[in-house]
A and B are shown apart, each in its own frame.
Chain A
Amino acid sequence: MAELHRHDIVIVGGGAAGLRAAIAAVKARPGSSVALVSKVYPMRSHTVSAEGGAAAVARADDNLEMHGYDTVKGSDFLGDQDVIQAFVEEAPRELTQLEHWGCPWSRNEDGTVATRAFGGMTTKRTWYAADKVGFHLLHTLFQTSMQYGDIVRYDEVFVSKLLMDGNECRGVAGLDVRTGEMMGVLGRAVILATGGAGKVWPFTTNGNIKTGDGMALAYREGVPMKDMEFVQYHPTGLPGTGILITEATRGEGGHLINSEGERFLITRDYGVGTKAELGPRDMISRAEVQEIEAGRGIDSQYGQHVHLDLTHLGEEKIMKRLPMVRELSKIYAGVDPVYEPIPIRPVVHYMMGGVDVDIDGFADGVDGLLAAGEVACVSLNGANRLGSNSLTECLVFGARSGVKAVEYAKGTSDGDDAALARMGEEEQARIDALRGKQGGGEKIAAIRTDMQSAMESGCGVYREEASMQQTVRDIAALKQRFEGVTLEDKSKVFNTEIIAYLELENMLDVAESVSSSAASRNESRGAHTRKDATARDDVNWLHHTLCYYDPAGPRLDKKDVTLGRWEPEERKY
């Protein structure tokens, strides 16, 4: 291996969670050396695409208890209530911190931070910067991070393996995309902050980089994936591209309309009650699918969709609060929402599941490994996440994991450099062998497409036994086919074919854990909705799912949910 770089801690991923962790780490222990390794320049991270806002109690008519209860209920009682308690308490501090760092939050006339309504939230508690909240949050964090010399960035370095010393994670092996050389980035603790895995599905809001890398890295080292069956379909994606149209459109008063011109969330019973368009995402996505299946969808070249109508909001409000929605609708759907409804349909958006971590971010089963943000499952979101809780989650649990990682690093010694270097050499040999790899003629794009359609058919909005089992078999077969991939690019410099190969390898592991976890849960809860087991079953299934890697096929287990003040009750709005 070309080079070993030693730091106190290593963070993988430069989005909101990773950047927040890095800043928290150097502020908690000044002088700590923090490596920030990312496969893209941090400002390209997918946090940039978040639109609608970040939740934290801010108004006099709101309180922590209400935010807590909304989150518990939204999770369909699968969220851990100690985690939710800590989250709602720390949320206002974190958004205030971002304010102090210059985030351009939208303002009320009196200069206080403005908040808007969001799905499943009892009152207006979603802080926003027009409809570019993720973009502003990411750039504020990234620019703020530049003043800390102790944060050492490794941009465009693709982490392909965790470096283990026995059961302790001591760093990462990374491929420098620009040179094709491997490097070892060593630390006494490693935080995964690589985000989600939307690209496992064909139709997603997620950018091309969301390939579940951190999930797969941890999974292969024996860390269980938790609650992977819970995949959030966002109710409003543009047909064709899957580009996100923010929930803030409904927070600002937008309506969902079927082909008969009905506001179907009002005229029919989908369980959202008077919340209507401000119901939680899982319920609204199901309602849209049911409308389409009942023949009340609207035809297009991209299949059936329904309409999101903003025309009654008026140009001034749209330009002030939702300028990006207008821009996106015009460029990517050819409609101007000031005058016409926007075609939308449910789209894969967010992974409730991920690396099983405790409240401080420490991963289950491997020492010195932490995770925060979408890659992690700290069990804030349970079976269904509420919109605008995830950006705040990145900040709250990113900051926590950064502080905890430097504390952990202080109390432990360096790993065995020689052993880590040997492990790095082996990884180097594996990657080197991929350049121009002779295989059985299988193509990356073909396997990827087949994986995506298998996941859509078995792990979509509605699921049933036969199709889930078929997807489990399909993914196992695709992992076999993957062995036969042939690679054509023999160059070392910026070999994106190898990156696509490594990403596909990661996605297949994520797909395996999602489909196996889904097939195991014989009830409907939150985003996991079975046509053949329609009720929630608290007697048998009020627990988390754990999925462990095994070369012979995944092994499943259960873990208790941490309840608290709120007992499970029927989830009706």
Chain B
Amino acid sequence: MAEMLIKKFVVTRFDPDQDDVPRTETYEVPCHPDWKVLDGLNHIKDEIDPTLAHRWSCRMAVCGSCGMNVNGEPTLTCKKAVRDLPDTIEVTPLSNFPVVRDLVVELEGFMDKLKSVKPWIIRAKEKAVEEGPTRQSPEELEEFKQFSMCINCMLCYAACPVVANEPEFIGPAAIALGHRYSIDSRDEGAAERNEIFRGEGTVFSCSYANECSEVCPKNVDPAAAVNQAKFNAVIDWATGLVLPRGGKE
């Protein structure tokens, strides 16, 4: 049996039924050296304090449920090893979101933001299944693939200084996902989305801090998506000024 690491978990607790303001609770957790932060939280839930509320499921860094701040850093707790952290591990809910309870944050705002960028294939005429699969070259796939890797874990919103000041900013993940469809060779909706992106609280609110790309656990690079989306929105607008019928055939 491997030697246990004793870690002090300092966890934010907040129950709107009982607390006016968040408080912290400290738990001493004997951790297997292979454990992730999530394993420590599950140990607390199962063995020490069953009232702790946190979200998790896949424990393999793909479902996006278990994002929290760990020692101040937006983190997927199922991916962060306890042995890489100091003896005291502070776990708080993701910043820039209303807290529902304990480590659980409100996601409704993001769901609305995601929908607002029309994250689906838009075509003038829907293609019939009988026509078979569209041809798409590996290079065309490569264009958008990275931006399709977003797992909606919300770490980028927690890291984003613009979201912190301007909560209605639609934010890195939603922009990356809207842009992902606009640059997909099968999509015809770029003009629609460019119009959305020229609106308030979208791409032009971004201040180039690049924090989103730094914390992204899937290397989506949302900052690059925001920059590309900005460029396309401007070009599209400028083309519309110069060419008749907005440059559309």
Q: Counting CB contacts under 8 A, is B95 at the interface?
A: no
Q: Counting CB contacts under 8 A, is B47 at the interface?
A: yes
Q: Tell me which residues across on chain A come within 8 A of B167, comparing CB atoms.
A: none
Chain A 111-159 interface residues, beta-carbon cutoff 8 Å to B: 111-113, 132, 135-136, 139, 143-144, 146-147, 155
Q: Are B62 and A146 in contact (CB under 8 A)?
A: no
Which residue of A48, A487, A495 is within 8 Å of B62 (Cβ)?
A48
Q: Tell me which residues across on chain A come within 8 A of B134, comparing CB atoms.
A: 99-100
Q: Are A207 and B57 in contact (CB under 8 A)?
A: yes
Q: Counting CB contacts under 8 A, is B237 at the interface?
A: no
Q: Counting CB contacts under 8 A, is B7 at the interface?
A: no
Q: Counting CB contacts under 8 A, is A322 at the interface?
A: no
Q: Counting CB contacts under 8 A, is B64 at the interface?
A: yes
Known contacts A104-B141, A107-B136, A143-B119; A41 and B111 CB within 8 A of each other: yes
- In the complex, what distance in Å separates the CA atom of A155 from the CA atom of B45? 23
- In the complex, what distance in Å separates the CA atom of A524 from the CA atom of B66? 41
Of chain A, the residue at the smallest CB distance from B184 is A102
Q: Are A491 and B18 in contact (CB under 8 A)?
A: yes
Q: Counting CB contacts under 8 A, is B8 at the interface?
A: no
- Of B52, B53, B144, the most chain A CB neighbours within 10 A belong to B53
Known contacts A110-B135, A489-B51; A241 and B59 CB within 8 A of each other: yes
Q: Counting CB contacts under 8 A, is A208 at the interface?
A: yes
Q: Are B100 and A144 in contact (CB under 8 A)?
A: no
Which residue of A43, A95, A488 is within 8 Å of B51 (Cβ)?
A488
Q: Are A244 and B60 in contact (CB under 8 A)?
A: yes
Q: Tell me which residues across on chain A come within 8 A of B107, comparing CB atoms.
A: 41, 155
- In the complex, what distance in Å separates the CA atom of A33 from the CA atom of B104? 30
Known contacts A104-B144, A489-B50; A40 and B121 CB within 8 A of each other: no
Q: Counting CB contacts under 8 A, is A49 at the interface?
A: yes
Q: Are A444 and B50 in contact (CB under 8 A)?
A: yes
Chain A 12-70 interface residues, beta-carbon cutoff 8 Å to B: 40-41, 43-46, 48-49
Which residue of A107, A178, A328, A497 is within 8 Å of B100 (Cβ)?
A178
Q: Are A208 and B119 in contact (CB under 8 A)?
A: no
Of chain A, the residue at the smallest CB distance from B123 is A100
Q: Are B115 and A146 in contact (CB under 8 A)?
A: yes
Q: Counting CB contacts under 8 A, is A276 at the interface?
A: no
Q: Are B148 and A40 in contact (CB under 8 A)?
A: no
Known contacts A41-B111, A487-B50, A497-B50; A46 and B144 CB within 8 A of each other: no
Binary interface encoding of chain A residues 96-107 relative to chain B, with 1 for a CB under 8 A from any of its CBs, else 0: 110111101111
Binary interface encoding of chain B residues 92-108 relative to chain A, with 1 for a CB under 8 A from any of its CBs, else 0: 00000000111010010
Q: Tell me which residues across on chain A come within 8 A of B121, comparing CB atoms.
A: 100-102, 144
Binary interface encoding of chain B residues 131-174 relative to chain A, with 1 for a CB under 8 A from any of its CBs, else 0: 01111111011001100111110000000000000000000000
Q: Are B58 and A493 in contact (CB under 8 A)?
A: no
Known contacts A48-B62, A207-B63, A491-B17; A107 and B141 CB within 8 A of each other: yes
Give min CB distance, B142 to chain A, whole Å.
10
Q: Are A104 and B129 in contact (CB under 8 A)?
A: no
Q: Are A208 and B56 in contact (CB under 8 A)?
A: yes
Q: Are A135 and B15 in contact (CB under 8 A)?
A: no
Of chain A, the residue at the smallest CB distance from B47 is A445
Chain A 223-250 interface residues, beta-carbon cutoff 8 Å to B: 240-241, 243-244
Q: Are A493 and B101 in contact (CB under 8 A)?
A: yes
Of chain A, the residue at the smallest CB distance from B145 is A104
Q: Are A44 and B65 in contact (CB under 8 A)?
A: yes
Q: Counting CB contacts under 8 A, is B109 at the interface?
A: no
Of chain A, the residue at the smallest CB distance from B103 is A494
Q: Tell me which residues across on chain B come within 8 A of A489, comparing CB atoms.
A: 50-51
Q: Counting CB contacts under 8 A, is A571 at the interface?
A: no
Give min CB distance, B247 to chain A, whole Å.
24
Binary interface encoding of chain A residues 76-89 relative to chain B, with 1 for a CB under 8 A from any of its CBs, else 0: 00000000000000
Q: Tell me which residues across on chain B come within 8 A of A136, comparing CB atoms.
A: 148
Chain B 162-208 interface residues, beta-carbon cutoff 8 Å to A: 177, 181, 184, 186-187
- Of B58, B135, B145, B187, the most chain A CB neighbours within 10 A belong to B58
Known contacts A488-B50, A491-B51; A106 and B141 CB within 8 A of each other: yes
Q: Counting CB contacts under 8 A, is A339 at the interface?
A: no
- In the complex, what distance in Å separates the CA atom of A44 from the CA atom of B184? 24
- In the complex, what distance in Å separates the CA atom of A298 from the CA atom of B132? 47
Known contacts A100-B186, A143-B120, A491-B101; A208 and B59 CB within 8 A of each other: yes
Q: Give the number of residues in A that approach B within 8 Å (Cβ atoms).
A: 63
Q: Counting CB contacts under 8 A, is B61 at the interface?
A: yes
Q: Tell me which residues across on chain A come within 8 A of B137, comparing CB atoms.
A: 107, 109, 111
Q: Tell me which residues across on chain B come within 8 A of A132, comparing CB atoms.
A: 62, 149
Q: Counting CB contacts under 8 A, is A555 at the interface?
A: no
Q: Are B1 and A49 in contact (CB under 8 A)?
A: no
Give min CB distance, B249 to chain A, whole Å.
22
Q: Tell me which residues across on chain A come within 8 A of B141, comparing CB atoms.
A: 104, 106-107
Q: Counting CB contacts under 8 A, is A492 at the interface?
A: yes
Known contacts A445-B46, A488-B50; A332 and B120 CB within 8 A of each other: no
Which residue of A49, A107, A500 is within 8 Å of B63 (Cβ)?
A49
Q: Counting CB contacts under 8 A, is B114 at the interface?
A: yes
Q: Tell me which residues across on chain B come within 8 A of A496, comparing CB atoms.
A: 45, 52-54
- In the complex, what distance in Å separates the CA atom of A445 from the CA atom of B49? 11
Q: Tell me which residues across on chain A come within 8 A of B133, comparing CB atoms.
A: 95-96, 99-100, 105, 112-113
Known contacts A44-B63, A112-B135, A240-B34; A147 and B1 CB within 8 A of each other: no
Q: Tell me which residues across on chain A come within 8 A of B45, comparing CB atoms.
A: 496
Q: Tell me which residues across on chain A come within 8 A of B61, comparing CB atoms.
A: 327-328, 331
Give min CB distance, B2 to chain A, whole Å.
6
Give min CB distance, B22 to chain A, whole Å.
14
Of chain B, the residue at the smallest CB distance from A145 is B120
Q: Are A208 and B46 in contact (CB under 8 A)?
A: no
Q: Tell me which residues across on chain B come within 8 A of A331, comparing CB atoms.
A: 61, 79
Q: Counting CB contacts under 8 A, is A301 at the interface?
A: yes
Binary interface encoding of chain B residues 9-34 relative to chain A, with 1 for a CB under 8 A from any of its CBs, else 0: 00000011110000000000000001
- In the complex, what distance in Å separates the CA atom of A328 from the CA atom of B120? 29
Which residue of B120, B132, B136 is within 8 Å of A146 (Cβ)?
B120
Binary interface encoding of chain A residues 318-362 relative to chain B, with 1 for a CB under 8 A from any of its CBs, else 0: 000000100110011000000000000000000000000000000
In the complex, given contacts A106-B138, A207-B58, what are 17 additional A-B residue pairs having Cβ atoms less than 8 angstroms apart? A43-B152, A44-B55, A44-B64, A48-B151, A93-B129, A100-B126, A102-B181, A112-B133, A208-B57, A240-B34, A301-B2, A492-B17, A493-B100, A494-B100, A496-B53, A496-B54, A497-B51
B residues near A, CB below 8 A?
A: 1-2, 15-18, 34, 45-47, 50-65, 79, 100-102, 104, 107, 111, 114-115, 118-121, 126-127, 129, 132-138, 140-141, 144-145, 148-152, 177, 181, 184, 186-187
A residues near B, CB below 8 A?
A: 40-41, 43-46, 48-49, 93, 95-97, 99-102, 104-113, 132, 135-136, 139, 143-144, 146-147, 155, 178, 207-209, 240-241, 243-244, 301, 324, 327-328, 331-332, 443-445, 487-489, 491-497, 500
What are 21 A-B contacts defined by CB distance under 8 Å?
A40-B55, A43-B152, A45-B63, A100-B133, A102-B181, A106-B141, A107-B141, A109-B138, A139-B150, A146-B114, A208-B56, A208-B58, A209-B57, A243-B59, A243-B60, A301-B1, A332-B60, A443-B50, A445-B46, A491-B15, A496-B45
Q: Which 3 A-B pairs have CB atoms at the shortest separation, nearest pair first?
A: A111-B135, A445-B46, A207-B57
